[in-house]
Structure 1
Amino acid sequence: MSVGKVESKLAELGLTLPEVVPPLASYVPAVPSGEYVFTSGQLPMVNGKLGLTGKVGAEVTAEEAKAQARICALNALAAVKSVIGDLDRIERVVKVVGFVASAPDFTGQPGVVNGASELLGEVLGEAGVHARSAVGVAVLPLDAPVEVEIQVRVSAG
C-alpha cells in the first residue's frame, strides 16, 4: 500500500499517524456528512494514556499544553482517516475548536491551541489554514489539559 503525500509529510516531520483513540463514552471518533468530516473532541492520548493531567497555568505549563494540543491534532487526523481512508482527500481544514482546562487566572488559551493549528499547517500546508476557537474550561475528561476537534472538507472518494 502506498503512502500518500500527507502521511509522507508526517513521516518527514518525524510523526506517525496513531491508531484511532477509542471512544470513552457513547459517540464515534468522526462522522462524515456530505463533503465534510466532523471529529469528536480528541484528547492527547498516546498508546491509550494521557501524558499529562491537570490545569494549564497550574499543574501544566502553557508550553507543555501546546505540545499536548499537537497530539490532539494528530489524533484528530487519525479519526478523519478512519472514515475517509486517505488523508490526501482533505481539501481544507475548515474549523478547529480547542478546549483548554485552565487555572482561574490563565488567559493563554490561544497559544496552547496554536499547537494544533501549527501541526495542521505543517502537515497540510495551505489546506491546513482554518478558522478557530480557543476556549478555557474548568475541567476536561480524564483531567486532560487540552481537547481538540476539527472539521474538514474532503474530496469525493
Structure 2
Amino acid sequence: MGAATDWAANLDRLGLKLPEVAAPAGAYIPAVRSGSMVYTSGQLPFVDGALSVTGKVGADVSLETAKDAAAQCALNALAAVHGLVGLDEVVRIVKVVGFVASAPGFTDQPLVINGASELLGEIFGDAGVHARSAVGVFELPKGTPVEVELIAEVR
C-alpha cells in the first residue's frame, strides 16, 4: 500500500527536509504509538540542535518569527512520527496543540500556531487539516517562544 499523501514531494516543493529527531530534554520519548494513533511530545523550534529563537511573543519575538518557529516545531514533530512509524503510514493529522510564551496583553496565539497548521496542510493536503488548541503561557522550556505537539492517525 502506498503513502496516503506524497509528503516527500511536498517537502521538496517547500524546500524543506525532515530533521533528525530531537533528543529528549527529560525523562520521555519523542513519540509513542497507541493503536492507530501516534502522539508526539512537545517539540521546540530546534534547528541543527539549537533553538532558532528565544523570548516572549509580543515583546522580544514578532508574530511572523513565532509563526515560523511554530512551523519548525511541526516539522520536528513530523520527524518524531517518521522516526517511530514512517510518514508513509500517516492517514491524517488529527490534532495539534500549540503553546505560545506570550508577553502580557498578547492574544494572537492562534495566528502563531497557524505556522504549524499551515505547514501540515501544505505537506499532507486535506489529511493535514486537524483539530487544534492554541494556548498562551507565561514560560516555556529553555526560553522558547513556542512548543507544538500533535496526534497523527496511522495505518
TM bucket normalised to smaller: over 0.9
Identity of aligned residues (%): 61
Contact 2:93 2:128 in 1 (8 A): yes
Query: Who is 2:82 aligned against?
Result: 81
What do residues 45-80 of structure 1 show as CA deviations (whole Å, max 9, x unaligned)? 001101110000000011100000000000000000
Alignment partners' CA distance in 2, 1:87 and 1:63: 27
Instruction: Show the 5 A alignment for 1:1-157.
Output: 5-84=6-85, 86-155=86-155
Unaligned runs of 5+ in 1: none
Q: Report how far residue 145 of structure 1 moved.
A: 0.3
| Runs of 4 or more consecutive aligned structure 1 residues displaced over 4 Å after TM superposition | none
What do residues 78-113 of structure 1 show as CA deviations (whole Å, max 9, x unaligned)? 0000110x2121111110000000001100000000
Q: Report how far residue 6 of structure 1 moved.
A: 1.1
Q: Report how far residue 8 of structure 1 moved.
A: 1.9
What do residues 24-56 of structure 1 show as CA deviations (whole Å, max 9, x unaligned)? 011000001100000000000001101110000
Q: Report how far residue 5 of structure 1 moved.
A: 2.1
Q: Secondary structure at the match of 1:69?
A: helix
Number of aligned positions between the proteins? 152
Alignment partners' CA distance in 1, 2:78 and 2:8: 10
Contact 2:70 2:148 in 1 (8 A): yes
Alignment partners' CA distance in 1, 2:89 and 2:42: 21
What do residues 132-151 of structure 1 show as CA deviations (whole Å, max 9, x unaligned)? 00000000000000000000
Alignment partners' CA distance in 2, 1:88 and 1:82: 11
TM-score (norm 1): 0.94
RMSD over equivalenced CA pairs, Å: 1.2
TM-score (norm 2): 0.96
Alignment partners' CA distance in 1, 2:129 and 2:79: 18
